[in-house]
């Protein structure tokens, strides 16, 4: 018998212009799983987190992750999963990805770390597909590897860790509006006009250049999304008005977190991020919409083993 306790962080996908190809991790917030491997075959899942999750194991995102790992390894094992801590699903900070990343990383630890980051992300994407009906890695890759990760390509997976500026703070608010990732993906048109594509890849290049050169203003300037945001912002009341207020307070950028409905603002000073958080709260208070919100540092840390027996 072998047992691990594993943590994987919350993450924010897209980072503005990087639809499905860039994401970053947040400090402190994340999922904790306890995974026990014994001889045999099968999976059991016990949810101790207090967050409601489907009881059917085939509807829990960790199941396809574990199955994919065992397929790649061509091994059988009995895995008991205890979900100890869980980010609330639908919060826009990579709730499903945190579980998927923790499950993939935990399996790797149980087997003595045989798989690469790319292979672990392949496993985690099986869970993301169950959650949203799409194979995207922009939450799962950072949740496994930590920091800001660029998915240069999917076939095959080519993952690049980008530099994280030293002082990079994020205010996030999750308004109590229900928008599923599935729905937020289905409303997107399948084709992008050339003019918009040109703007988007200019911004992706600018974002990467800004992160490498430490040019924070370039990072902010480049975090513009003309591909997904125009279709998704209608789910978020007063979106443009909120952005205007956040930029006026000194935030570098404000965008939809992943597929929404959460939004986030980045700042290079904690004080500005705190002010941004306050403005976000006032914005939704004035519209009678409840929320959860927090201000955290953008982290450089991914999944990790907390303890093992």
Q: Would you name the residues annotated as active-site residues? A: 128, 181
Supply the minimum distance, in Å, between the C-beta of residue 23 and ligand HSE: 8
70 lies in the site for ligand HSE, by CB under 6 A: no
Strands (E) located in the chain:
2-13, 22-38, 42-47, 78-85, 148-154, 157-162, 169-175, 253-256, 263-267, 291-299, 304-308
Residue closer to ligand HSE, measured from CB, 13 or 77: 13
Closest approach of ligand HSE to the CB of residue 46, in Å: 26
**List of E strands, 155-252:** 157-162, 169-175
Tokens coding 20: 């499905």
- Smaller CB separation from ligand HSE, 66 or 143: 143
Within 13 Å and on the Cβ side, how many CA atoms surround 283?
A: 27
> How many Å apart are CA 298 and CA 15, to the nearest integer?
12
User: Does the protein bind ligand HSE through residue 20 (CB under 6 A)?
Assistant: yes
Supply the minimum distance, in Å, between the C-beta of residue 219 and ligand HSE: 19
Those residues whose C-beta lies under 8 Å from the C-beta of residue 186, and which sit 6 or more positions away, are none
Q: Rule CB under 6 A: which of 82-141 touch ligand HSE?
A: 136, 138-139
CA dihedral sign, ordered 292, 297, 303, 304:
negative
Instruction: Return the number of the residue (104 or 184) whose C-beta is nearest ligand HSE.
Output: 184
Which listed residue (4, 5, 14, 239) binds ligand HSE by CB under 6 A?
14
Instruction: Tell me which H or E stretch contains 100.
Output: helix 95-110
Q: Give the helix, strand, coil percentages of the chain, each rounded to 5.
A: 40, 30, 35
Q: How far apart are CA 230 and CA 65, in angstroms?
A: 33
Q: Measured from the CB of residue 195, what is the shortest distance to ligand HSE in angstroms?
A: 21
Interface with ligand HSE in residues 225-284 (CB under 6 A): 228, 258-259
- For ligand HSE, the closer of residues 101 and 110 by Cβ is 101
Cβ at position 297, least distance to ligand HSE in Å = 21
Nearer to ligand HSE, 139 or 200 (CB): 139
> In the beta sheet, which residues pair with residue 164?
none
Asked if 185 touches ligand HSE (CB under 6 A), the answer is yes
Residue ranges in contact with ligand HSE by CB under 6 A: 13-14, 19-20, 136, 138-139, 181, 184-185, 228, 258-259
């Amino acid at each position: 018998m072998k047992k691990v306790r594993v943590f994987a962080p919350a993450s924010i996908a897209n980072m503005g212009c990087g639809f499905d190809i860039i994401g970053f991790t947040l400090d402190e917030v994340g999922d904790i799983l306890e995974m026990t491997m014994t001889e045999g075959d099968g999976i059991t899942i016990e949810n101790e987190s207090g967050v409601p999750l489907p009881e059917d194991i085939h509807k829990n995102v960790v199941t396809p992750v574990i199955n994919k790992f065992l397929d790649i390894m061509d091994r059988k094992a009995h895995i008991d999963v205890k979900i100890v801590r869980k980010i609330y699903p639908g919060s826009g900070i990579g709730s499903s990805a945190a579980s998927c990343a923790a499950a993939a990383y935990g399996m790797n630890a149980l087997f003595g770390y045989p798989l690469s980051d790319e292979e672990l992300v392949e496993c985690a994407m099986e869970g993301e597909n169950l959650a949203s009906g799409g194979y995207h890695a922009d939450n799962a890759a950072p949740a496994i590897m930590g920091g800001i990760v660029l998915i240069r390509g999917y076939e095959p997976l080519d993952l690049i860790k980008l530099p994280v500026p030293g002082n990079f703070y994020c205010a996030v608010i999750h308004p109590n509006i229900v928008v599923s990732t599935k729905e937020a993906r289905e409303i997107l048109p399948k084709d992008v006009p050339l003019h918009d594509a040109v703007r988007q890849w200019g911004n992706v290049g600018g974002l990467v250049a800004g992160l490498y050169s430490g040019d924070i203003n370039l990072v902010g300037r480049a975090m513009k999304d003309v591909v997904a945001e125009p279709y998704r912002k209608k789910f978020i009341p007063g979106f443009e008005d909120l952005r205007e207020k956040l930029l006026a307070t000194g935030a570098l950028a404000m965008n939809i977190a992943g597929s929404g409905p959460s939004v986030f603002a980045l700042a290079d000073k904690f004080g500005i991020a705190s002010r941004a958080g306050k403005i976000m709260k006032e914005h939704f208070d004035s519209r009678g919409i409840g929320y959860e919100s927090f201000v955290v540092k953008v982290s450089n840390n991914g999944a990790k083993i907390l303890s093992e027996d």
